[in-house]
Amino acid sequence: MPSRWQVRGGTLSNADHTLVMGVLNVTPDSFSDGGLFLDSAAAIERGLGMWSAGADIIDVGGESTRPGSDPVPADVESGRVIPVIEALSAAGAVISVDTAKASVAAAAIEAGAAIVNDVTSLGDPEMAAVVAATGAGLVLMHMQGAPDTMQAAPHYDDVVAEVTDYLATRSAVAVEAGIAEDAICLDPGIGFGKSLEHNLRLLDDGVRSLAATGRPVLVGASRKSFLEKILGPIPPQERDVASAAAHGAAITVGAALIRVHNVVEGLRAARIVDAIVRADGGV
């Protein structure tokens, strides 16, 4: 289902192709690439490479949200991401800032970010005002618990219904705060307080349910540990094919965006799935 997403400075749409968001972790402890791009110059080079490879959005984060991670102060997080956002934005890239802190989001938008990717769905009481005042796009994500405890014992009576209802509620809060409905994107939060079975249901019925709201749906299954629970022990850097399979399944049921560590492989997989699901049957 084609959807339009209003972000600061323009509109993104999956009418022609599934949108690809490249992950750029400017952190020492992210589960897949922690420490590789903590240096600003290395992060900028990585981001420019993803942009030139065809990413539609570069998602820059300065605080890990992997299971068991601890929060970092806002000034440290800002110090990591702002120089990177400034450089990538100046090069013409569409930037998302992956943060739950309103102060970091405000600084990132001032530096050129067009989107706020908030894993806490406006958990910071000041975040909605920042997004509303700047006209930034907003990703609302579902997470059960907090990163340091979320994988301890996730439980749902009906994961699809509960995630859908939660994101509907948070969307209503956002709109009430002055954020345009067209600026909101929904993310079921694969791996954020979910078991293997929860993740699998969300990648199918969960995406269908969220897509039915008419808002774009972002799926981030890239290199996550639930893939290892299916295939056996595989290091994160070797999970790109498995990630592509999960994302492909999500695209077929309505995902408008995928969030990937490997832009080249993620984009190739998305284009193949796009060609299949968008075929008009005229051959």
Q: pLDDT tens digits, residue range 200-238?
A: 999 999 999 999 999 999 999 999 999 999 999 999 999
- CA dist 134 and 140 (Å) reads 17
pLDDT for res 282: 40
Q: Which one has a higher pLDDT value, 179 or 72?
A: 179
Residue 283 lies in a domain: no
Residue 51 belongs to domain spanning = 4-277
Would you say the C-alpha torsion 204, 223, 7, 76 has a positive or negative sign?
positive
Beta strands in 111-264 (DSSP E): 115-118, 137-141, 184-187, 218-219, 257-260
List Cβ neighbours of 107 (8 Å cut-off, separation of 6 or more): 78, 82
Section 148-176 average pLDDT: 91
List Cβ neighbours of 229 (8 Å cut-off, separation of 6 or more): 196
pLDDT for res 30: 57
Residue with tokens 């299949």: 276
CATH no. for residue 55?
3.20.20.20
Residue 282 lies in a domain: no
Structural domain count, the chain: 1
Residue 139 lies in a domain: yes
Q: pLDDT tens digits, residue range 128-156?
A: 999 999 999 999 999 997 776 767 778 89
Residue 244 lies in a domain: yes
Consecutive H or E run containing 133: helix 127-134
Residue 135 lies in a domain: yes
Enzyme catalytic residues: 224, 259
pLDDT for res 151: 77
